[in-house]
Amino acid sequence: MNFVKLNNGLEIPQLGFGVCRIPDLSECQQVVEKAIETGYRLIDTAAIYQNESAVGQAMKQSGVAREKLFITSKLWIENFGYQETLRAFDETLAKLQTDYLDLYLLHYPFGDIFGSWRALTELYRQGKIRALGVSNFPNDRLFDLLVNSEVKPAVNQLQTHPFLQRKYERKFLQEKQISLEAWSPFAVGRDNIFSHPVLVTIASHHQKSVAQVILRWHLQHGTIVIPKTVQPKRMQENFSVWDFQLTPEELSAIAQLDQQDQTQTTALAEIDDRIRVQSKFI
């Protein structure tokens, strides 16, 4: 496993496991136990996924020591604001059956971001969170937070995949020493990504799957990546990506697949929909 050193010195596994859209708690617990058994140590959940308690049970059942795991959760927007953040964080800890988080993210850039960040900063200083970060923050919102906070965000978790490559965000994040973590690293299989001819050709050249090629592409760009699957065979497949390298020519071919402007519009519409469905906030 490779590790990425965050801007506060904490090391995060570069490849982790996401648990979005696994609402059934017993299924989620089984899946996370299997993922930990496969070797994953970074588990990415969120309050809004409503499965933190299943992740907590799986951590306990796994027999792997807490300090060997790297647990990320996210504060949902309805709980933004100083007091609500402290309360929601305690609830998250209780559900996860732990007394600290490795990484805690503001899920979206809405509402009282600065009140929440003040609460997170206190929790960070008390050692209850080992690194702070954000998710879905465009460059300008992130810049505002950066220049107006004492503890800098270590991570921005953004939807990133070969069709949405984040060139502009990546450049900004590098300049500011903030790590990019890719959500939906496979574009959730949309737009036939798993049968895209360019990716299929590269995969057959390496005798690997398209999923493995996509993960290599992320890893070779230095991105932290958290694919999700409920299938043990795919967990193993997605974890077996350390024994081959994409060539510069292959990386250039994948660079041509970027449709950021077009995809970003779709991504924004989806975020809008998701928040409308999941929240009383709007």
Interacting residues with ligand NAP (CB under 6 A): 18-21, 44, 135-136, 157, 183-189, 194, 209, 211, 226-231, 234, 237-238
Report H helices in the chain.
25-38, 52-62, 82-96, 113-125, 139-147, 167-175, 197-206, 210-220, 232-239, 248-255, 260-278
Three-state DSSP at 39 gives coil
Nearer residue to ligand NAP within complex by CB, 135 or 223 = 135
Residue nearest to ligand NAP as judged by C-beta position: 18
Contact 52, 89 (CB under 8 A): no
- β-strand 129-135 against 101-106: which pairing, if any? parallel
CB of 223 to ligand NAP, least distance (A): 12
- Alpha carbon distances (Å) from 219 to 16, 96, 211, 249: 11, 28, 12, 16
CB of 203 to ligand NAP, least distance (A): 11
Nearer residue to ligand NAP within complex by CB, 130 or 228 = 228
108 is catalytic: no
CB of 187 to ligand NAP, least distance (A): 6
Single out the catalytic residue among 40, 49, 108, 124: 49
Nearer residue to ligand NAP within complex by CB, 122 or 232 = 232
CB of 64 to ligand NAP, least distance (A): 19
Q: Which two tokens stand for residue 143?
A: 């810049």
Instruction: Just list the catalytic residues.
Output: 49
